[in-house]
Structure 1
Amino acid sequence: MLNKIQSKKEELIKNGKLKSSKPLPKVTVEEEPFSLPKGWIWARFGDATINRDGERIPLSKKEREIKEKIYDYYGASGIIDKVDSFLFETPLLLIGEDGANLISRSTPIAFIATGKYWVNNHAHVVDSYDLTVLKYLSLYINAINLEPYLTGSAQPKLNQAKLNMIVVALPPYSIMKELIDKVDSLNSLCDQWELEVRSQQKHIETLRNKVLNDALQGLLVPQNNEEESANVLLKKIKAKKEQLIKAKVIKKSKSLPPIEENEIPHKLPSGWIWVRIGDIAQINPRNAIDDDLEVGFVPMTLIEDGYSGKHTSETRKWSEIKKGFTHFQENDIAIAKITPCFENKKSAIMKDLANGYGAGTTELHIVRPFHDYVLVDYLMCLFKSNTFIEKGVQTYTGTAGQQRISKDFIENYVIGLPPIEEQHRIVEKVNTVWETINEIENNIVKAK
């Protein structure tokens, strides 16, 4: 096979289609990573291939914008655009020449391009004896560690000289075909498996949302008519508000509109009452904190864990972060307001903060319920529910790519408020069911 590749090279050189190059060094015993089966040989990548990098032509984004979108335009990690002409029309092996993907491998480094297509100067273009050899080499390059052949640290690069020096284990041609067929078969099984896993994950997500919806409708735990009704609870919240306003702890806010009949999605159990979130919580409150106090600083990205949420934080002096940041304190709820974080249910209860106070980026809304009467864990049932997320998405404001959930949406959102004792029972039940759901989820293979 190597002799046939060499003959093909010599023919291309004779016809002026390929430049002559000096022979590559033989593979030494020290370079051989393992012993090979009978009939296999170690060879340099450059000996088994014909490099066609000289036929590549890069086109700038501005140049591509004015071209009709017909043929695939390839870069280091695959198709990145379409153009109105093509450079190649036979299947060839493309290998990423530069970029972080050479180390991270978030997408395949080597891939077969088919049809009529254009390639820029960020992907090596490789030919060989036939498509079978190219497919095998693609599998091989994607399977090995390429770091010994890379140059540069900030911007890794696999130049042509280093590519040609890669040590390759070459089997007989018939074995190549068998290996490719076997990998194709296994990949097909993996694809089927991944579809099944995604289906299971979808069912689990549906189950989670069903639990949250049942919790918010009073269907998860029994009611007790002897408990103090939410109506009395709301009166206590209003009295607490007035007390805090009088003491100048909080500012007086505008009255929220009465709840209209068309805003009520379902019937409430006995003892419950419809309220707006702004009736039972402060939205984006400010804190008065000593400048020298060490407090928690929470980045925008919140780490979810169950419906209650978890977050990561670091410690900074309040004087360093008090201006231009979102303020919060222990047991406040933070909700990401920028898309796509909001759609991914990025919300969490702020816990274990240094000295009980913290700050985060401005892309967070803060909800501070009146804790004696409203449990933060009960409100989290709402903020993690698909119903809340879907309604929020419909209210996005701002330009594309910079859309946000407004404070008004959260403040005016209508929620059923149960008696405080029932809130405790609901939270306890949700936690118990969540543990079971998590156990089920952990027993399936997660699709990436």
Structure 2
Amino acid sequence: MKVGWQTKTLNQITENLDNKRVPITKADRVNGEYPYYGASGIVDYVAGYIFDCDTLLVSEDGANLLARSTPIAFPASGKYWVNNHAHILKFENMITQRFVEMYLESIPLDRYITGAAQPKLNQMALNSIPIPVAPFFEQQRIVRILGEAFDGITTAKANAEKNLQNARALSESYLQSVFTQGGEGWEQKTLEEISTTFGRGKSKHRPRNDKILYSGKYPFIQTGDIRNAEHFITEYSQTYSEAGLAQSKLWPKGTICITIAANIAETGILGFDACFPDSVIGLVTNPKEAEIGFVEYLLQSFKVRLQAKGKGSAQANINMGTFENERFPFPSVTEQKQIVAKLGILCEETQHLESIYKQKLAALDELKKSLLHQAFSGEL
């Protein structure tokens, strides 16, 4: 540690105001203008307030204490209310408050957290966290440098996120245009008319989770596997045994899978023979009528409209009737193959761009972590 730095615990440099917290049940809250804070920030706005000062709030419980997908330390100012899911720390000045906020975001808290089902950072544990406290002028320098850097990182991440969304939107826009504009000689057909096999998967045995059905050599595809696929299903998370196969059906490689429950209207092409349940429709194309890739892209382009058909229930779903009554545009098989080739190139380019922007986002996150580490080890 650099000269002049001291290690102190939070209770030595802050005033804890937890005893002033007052939770309000949702039924008892009166809507108003004042922020109502919980473990992860503002959860509501209420008619009254119990604090009118600058403080640092620190999550007391919740899975985010371990996951750290959002900040666990965040400032509150003005007039506001805090429930009993966030600790309240008052500092002598805003520089030290921001300094400590940044430090808490830079370190893992696992060793201070209790509870597995419901992680908790109690007040005693919070107070025991050692803080490397720099001299005030050094705190000012670190807060200024990190603040400017984080503003730049935030802007860069926003630009990368926007570019990522734009790449996806461009691809989606072109995909939609292909199938909405159509062309000369395109015919409207049902999926059954262009297939040799078209029907729901099978999983007759009850209960569905009976152990005798699983851990065999036959891939068993579920809706989540299809949702996670990029056009082709190349992985599976479960297998059927001989007993599982006996009460199901083995669909051939090249079958187009369509989800009709949970993750509705997601599609993917089987990269191997596999079974799947009745929450999935299987379609084996007739090569004289349709090209596999064309049908899968076609269904992707109609996904938004098909998903809308499944809304309005506790669990959105569509059924065989949705597709039996739906007519889709089909050109000649030759033209279908040409369209698939073009869409394949576009898909590859889009995935390449997505990869670049995701790498940029990951690099920016690492840069932030590196700056925080340097700052609190006295190397900034």
TM-score normalized by the length of structure 2? 0.80
Alpha-carbon displacement from aligned partner over 1:243-276 (angstroms, at most 9, x marks no partner): xxxxxxxxxxxxxxxxxxxxxx545234x42212
| Inter-CA distance 295–172: structure 2 relative to 1 (3 Å threshold) | same
1:132-211 matches, cutoff 5 A = 132-211=95-174
Q: Which residue of 2 aligns with 1:44?
A: 9
Of the two structures, which has the highest relative contact order with CA contacts closer than 8 Å and spacing of 6 or more?
A: 2
Unmatched segments (≥5 aa) in structure 1: 1-34, 217-264
1:300 pairs with one of 223, 234, 242: 223
Of stretches 273-282 and 376-385 in structure 1, the one that deviates more from structure 2 is 273-282
- Which 4+ residue blocks in structure 1 deviate beyond 6 angstroms? 288-293
Question: What displacement does 1:60 show?
Answer: 2.5
Q: Does 1:316 align with 2:240?
A: yes
How far the C-alpha of 1:167 sits from its partner, in A, is: 0.9
**In the alignment, what sits opposite 1:390?**
304
- In the alignment, which of 341, 344, 353 is matched to residue 431 of structure 1? 344
1 or 2, which has the higher helix percentage?
2
Matched residues, number: 351
What corresponds to 2:73 in structure 1?
A: 110
Aligned to 1:233: none
- How far is the alpha carbon of 1:319 from its aligned partner? 4.3
1:402 lines up with 2:367 in the alignment: no
2: distance between equivalents of 1:48 and 1:321?
65
Counterpart CA distance in 1 for 2:250 and 2:286 is 17
In structure 2, the residue matched to 1:126 is 89
Candidates 370, 376, 379, aligned match of 2:295:
379
CA–CA distance in structure 2, aligned partners of residues 92 and 105 of structure 1: 21
Shift of residue 195, structure 1, vs aligned partner: 2.4
Q: 1:430: Cα distance to partner? A: 2.9
- Which of 236, 239, 259 does residue 336 from structure 1 map onto? 259
Residue 161 of structure 1 and its aligned partner are, at CA, apart by: 1.0
Share of identical aligned residues, percent? 26
For 1:322 and 1:88, locate their aligned partners in 2 and report how far apart those are by CA, in whole Å: 66
Instruction: Indicate the residue corresponding to 2:276 in structure 1.
Output: 359
Superposition deviation, residue 402 in structure 1 = 2.7
- Any residues of structure 2 matched to 1:1-20 within 5 Å, and which? none
Shift of 1:379: 0.9
Letter in 2 for 1:391: R
CA distance in 2, matches of 1:107, 1:140: 15
In the alignment, what sits opposite 1:369? 285
Query: How much has 1:153 moved relative to structure 2?
Result: 2.8
Cα RMSD (Å): 3.2
Alpha carbons 1:306, 1:434 under 8 Å: kept: no
Q: Tell me which residue corresponds to 1:59.
A: 24
Bigger Rg, structure 1 or 2:
1
Give the partner amino acid of 1:334.
C
Q: Offset of 1:382 from its aligned partner?
A: 1.3
Letter in 2 for 1:382: L
Matched, 1:411 2:327: no
CA distance in structure 1 between the partners assigned to 2:235 and 2:277 by the alignment: 11
* 1:218-233 paired onto structure 2 within 5 Å: none
Instruction: Tell me the distance in 1 between the aligned counterparts of 2:237 and 2:278.
Output: 12
> TM-score normalized by structure 1?
0.69
Q: Classify 1:69/1:348 alpha carbon distance in 2 versus 1 (closer, same or farther; 3 Å).
A: farther
Taking the aligned partners of 2:54 and 2:67, their CA distance within structure 1 comes to 26
* 1:269 pairs with 2:184: yes
Shifted more, 434-443 versus 186-195: the winner is 434-443
1:444 partner SS: helix
Question: Structure 2: how far apart are the matches of 1:181 and 1:338?
Answer: 51
Is there any run of 5+ residues in structure 2 with no aligned partner, and where? Answer: 206-211, 363-380
Q: Distance in 1 between matches of 2:278 and 2:154?
A: 40
1:424 and 1:267 mapped to 2: Cα distance? Answer: 14
